[in-house]
Structures are given as C-alpha cells and as structure tokens.
Amino acid sequence: MRGKKRRPIVANFWHLIPMLLVAALVFNGCTALEEARQRREKRLLEERNASSLMLKTPKSEIDPDNITEDGLFGKSDHYTIKFAEDLQQLPAFDEIDEREEFILGALGYMESLYDAMHELFGFHPEHKIHVTLHDTFRDSRLGAFTTTQYRRGMINGRYVKSIEGISMDFPMQMYEKHGVRAHELTHAFTNIYYIPVWFSEGIAVLIQTEYAKGGLHRKYDSLKADARIDINGKNELENWGGHTENSPLTQWRYRYAYTLVAELWERYGADFYIKVFELMEADGLHQQLEDLMPTSILVYYLSEAAGEDLVPFFRKLYFNDVRQLTKADIIRYVEGLNQNRRQSNQNRRRR
Ligand SMILES: [Zn+2]
C-alpha cells in the first residue's frame, strides 16, 4: 500500500475547498502523559535505546542549508522542527551552534524513525509533521502531544473529512525519551484513519513498548479481571476523553488499552494491524464518518482482518455497545448521515 492513492472523492474535494468546507477542527490524538518517574527507569530506558533498531542512518540526508541562520528552525523530507521561545533561554540552547547541531541530529533521528514506521505500517501520512520543542508545554514538562488538524464539510452532497496538518509538541524532557517519540509518531501515522481514542493509544503504547523498547506501561494479567466498569456496566475504556483527560483512570486506560491491543496482535500475528489499516484504506469509509470511528465499525475491520467475528470477544470485556456489522450496515449508516446533513443544510437555507 505504499504510494497511497487518493480516492477520487478526495481529489474533487481539494478543488472545491473554498466553496464547500464548513469547518476546520482540531482533533487531537494524544497525550503521552507520564508521571515524573524515578531516575532508574530513565536510565533503563536509555540503555535499551542504545541498542534500538531505530537508530539507523536515515534514507534521506539532512541538508544543513535547510536550517535557518538563527538556528531556530529546520526542515527535512517529512518534518519541520522549531525551538519555542522558552527553550531558547536555556543555557543548553542559547547559542546558534548548539541549536543547529541539535536540529541536525533531531531531524536525522526523526527521519530514521519515520522510515522504520513507514516500513512497519506500509503507509505514511501525506502531510509534513511540524515539530515544536519547548521547555514546558501547557505548563508541564510531562506531556507530549500529537495533533491532527482536519477539515470537514459537504462535497457534492456527501460528508467528508480530510487531514489539513499534523503537529507535535514536545517538552524537551519528553522529546529526549525514545519511547515517547515512537509513541507520538505512531499517532501521526494511525490518526489519519480517525480511530477511537482507546485504539489509538493502545497501538501507540504497543509500538512504544514492543517495537521501540521504550515503554513505561505494563500489561495487565487478565483483560477480564482487570477491566474497570462504569456505572452503566460498560468498559471504562470507551469513556476515554482523549488528550486533555486527567483522571484517576488515565494510567489504567493506557495499560488496559495496551493489554487489549497486544492480545489481538499476539493472537493474529505481527501484520494484523497492517491488514486492519489496509482494509480501512480500501473502503475509504473512515473519511465519511462524523468525528472518530465508533468502536463497532473498528471491530468490523478487526474481525475482517482476523477472519472471525470478534464481537463476542469485545462483549465479554464489557464493550456492551459493540454489535456485529456488515459492510452494508456501515454504508447504510454513512448514507443516513449524508441524508441528514443534506436535509439540515436545506432547512438552514430556507430559514
Ligand atoms: Zn498517546
């Protein structure tokens, strides 16, 4: 699936942008919220980084001419990177040479990580990723964020979303963690499919832990026994509000989502999720859904890739709203959405 083709609907879309787009929203993928961990854990993490397979020379050379003279901004094939103001005041980055050297190394590393991720998933985002490094971000040194901006609107009577840009914000303390970079880059890749929060985080922790060997979240022993249930009897994973959430359940959610995603990965093989994304890409329905993909639709794709119905598996884990769908059901649902949108637009015009 390399060299991802744009579907015709997207091609039309770009021609019609000025007329038809009604909203540009910011949707965010994540926070890799981490507690201020013990030094020991950091040391262990760095030792593993040293032997990481991702520290290869990137395929594309980083050209020093692509760094501005003040050493505040640089670009490469898939990234731009810049220093936020608060970082320029720190002794380690207050000189141009220091910043230039850092940017050169960072772009090289991030390109290498990008190559590895592209190889792993078989697809890559079409947009450049804009990285900003901070001393603190949103008053914290502990949260890294990947944000996917998207547009949505009616095109020829159909509701369509499309990606407008991808940005990443790292406090330097988080950027220095190899696992966090892998986690965030996973979001940049997989969020082009508008997947549910729990799946997005689960897969990011899976890549961070199993692939980049930089994970801080441990798996639970039992998906059944370690499930947390809300007042309606539903698995608390479904209530994950996303990046801004700071609840007593947040750490549980990361661990449980990882355990769940890892369970299916172990059961169905290393290329299981690649197949899932390929199936989504082939159908192109993810772009026509309102906001994020409902879990039932995700479970449809998981089941297709697994070759068996996974609804009973999810129902046993208290995903009570998950139901078995066919592709015809999903198409009917999308058509219903389109019809509702057309009607509400007409009503608005009449008013
Ligand atoms: Zn995340």
The label of the residue with tokens 């996303």 reads 242
Instruction: Using pLDDT thresholds of 50, 70 and 90, give the confidence band for residue 244.
Output: low
For ligand 1, the distance from its centroid to the CA atom of residue 184, given in whole angstroms, is: 6
Q: Which two tokens stand for residue 20?
A: 């038809």
For ligand 1, the distance from its centroid to the CA atom of residue 164, given in whole angstroms, is: 20
For ligand 1, the distance from its centroid to the CA atom of residue 208, given in whole angstroms, is: 10
For ligand 1, the distance from its centroid to the CA atom of residue 199, given in whole angstroms, is: 10
CA 179, chain centre distance (Å):
14
For ligand 1, the distance from its centroid to the CA atom of residue 111, given in whole angstroms, is: 20
Domain borders along the chain are 8-350
C-alpha torsion sign, points 215, 218, 222, 226? negative
Phi and psi at residue 257, to the nearest 5°: -60, -40
In this prediction, residue 328 carries a pLDDT of 97
For ligand 1, the distance from its centroid to the CA atom of residue 329, given in whole angstroms, is: 30
Q: Which residues contact 102 (CB under 8 A, 6 or more apart)?
A: 93
For ligand 1, the distance from its centroid to the CA atom of residue 119, given in whole angstroms, is: 20
Measured at the alpha carbon of residue 48, what is the angle toward residues 44 and 53, in degrees to the nearest 5?
Answer: 165
* Highest mean pLDDT pick, 13-22, 29-38, 151-160, 297-306: 297-306
In this prediction, residue 340 carries a pLDDT of 85
CA 222, chain centre distance (Å):
26
Question: Residue 252: is its pLDDT beyond 70?
Answer: yes
272-298: pLDDT as tens digits: 999 999 999 999 999 888 888 999 999
Helix axes 250-268, 197-206, angle to 10 degrees: 70
36-60: pLDDT as tens digits: 334 444 544 444 443 344 445 566 6
Q: What's the whole-model pTM score?
A: 0.80
In this prediction, residue 57 carries a pLDDT of 57
For ligand 1, the distance from its centroid to the CA atom of residue 143, given in whole angstroms, is: 10
In this prediction, residue 23 carries a pLDDT of 37
In this prediction, residue 29 carries a pLDDT of 45
For ligand 1, the distance from its centroid to the CA atom of residue 29, given in whole angstroms, is: 6
Report percent pLDDT > 70 for the chain: 82
In this prediction, residue 59 carries a pLDDT of 62
Average pLDDT, the chain: 82
Q: Which residues contact 323 (CB under 8 A, 6 or more apart)?
A: 296, 311
For ligand 1, the distance from its centroid to the CA atom of residue 349, given in whole angstroms, is: 41
286-337: pLDDT as tens digits: 988 888 899 999 999 999 999 999 999 999 999 999 999 999 999 999 999 8
For ligand 1, the distance from its centroid to the CA atom of residue 265, given in whole angstroms, is: 18
Torsion of CA 92, 115, 293, 196, to 10 degrees: -50
DSSP for 287-332 reads: GGSSSSPPHHHHHHHHHHHHTS--HHHHHHTT-TT-----HHHHHH
For the segment 2-19, the average pLDDT, to the nearest whole number, is 37
